[in-house]
Structure 1
Amino acid sequence: MSQISAPIRFQVTSPPFRWDEAGGIRIGSSRVTLDSLLAAYHNGSTPEEIAIQYSVLSVEDIYSAIAYYLNHRQEIDNYLEQRNQQAQQHRQQLTQKHNLADLRRRLLTRQAQKESR
């Protein structure tokens, strides 16, 4: 008579994500954003290469984040697009607030004057 063994038990974990104060997703307790991790992944980096680039992340957390992305691609792509739009708006506001176009022109003029001396 064969003996039936007890089922193997293991812990199911969720991706190592947390929301930061600015509404971004960070990996684990690090300051590395999901945006940065996925940019490296989309640029062809392997999880092991990403772990070298972001030494504060474990390879396990990187694989978990990528797996979550692959299983929830539409939601994460929407999140990434929203973050990109927010960043563009923020850059425009800073440019207008600090008149960065005029600053650039003044710096280029000053540099040209120094070079002509």
Structure 2
Amino acid sequence: MTVDLSPENVPLTQTEQGVLLVSGTRVGLEVIVSDFNLGASAEEIALSYSSLSLADVYAVIAFYLRHKEELTAYLNVQAEQAEASRACYELEKDLSLQNCL
């Protein structure tokens, strides 16, 4: 019996904005990595998000562990962009409130 050992694709898709999502879902790489780094098992992560399969969670975690430095840099950039977006939103909200007064 022969086992097919050909490499499988990582179940991640990159959006036009550069965000990495688990293929076929709206779950970002950062969600899985964050939960994993907080101690959640692959099973717990898969149960927390109904759109994720256990196999995909394991594949994403394995990819993260193999490319930790590169993905940590990506996650840091994503966090900075999210913080900048939040700050911009808060500023716009404050300016809008001032214009109403």
TM-score range, shorter-chain basis? 0.7 to 0.9
User: What is the TM-score when the length of structure 1 is the normalising length?
Assistant: 0.75
| Residue 40 of structure 1 pairs with residue 35 of structure 2 | yes
For residues 56 and 92 of structure 1, what CA distance do their matches in structure 2 show? 30
Looking at structure 2, the residues matched to 9 and 94 of structure 1 have their Cα atoms a distance apart, in angstroms, of 50
Name the Cα RMSD after superposition. Answer: 2.0
Structure 1: which 5+ residue stretches go unaligned?
104-117
Task: Report the identity percentage.
Answer: 30
- Map 1:1-117 → 2, pairs under 5 A: 8-99=3-94
Task: Look at both structures and tell me which one has the larger radius of gyration over its CA atoms.
Answer: 1
- Uncovered stretches (5+) of structure 2, i.e. residues with no partner: none
Count, aligned residues: 98
Which amino acid counterpart does residue 86 of structure 1 have in structure 2?
Q
TM-score between both structures, scaled by the size of structure 2? 0.86
1:12 alignment partner AA: P
CA 1:43–1:8 in structure 2 vs 1: closer, same or farther (change >3 Å)? closer
Task: Give the deviation of 1:99 after TM superposition.
Answer: 0.5
Which whole-Å deviations, capped at 9, do the CAs of 1:7-45 have from their partners, x for residues lacking one? 643432121000123321000110000011111111111
Higher relative contact order (CA 8 A, sep 6+): 2
CA distance in 1, matches of 2:58, 2:85: 31
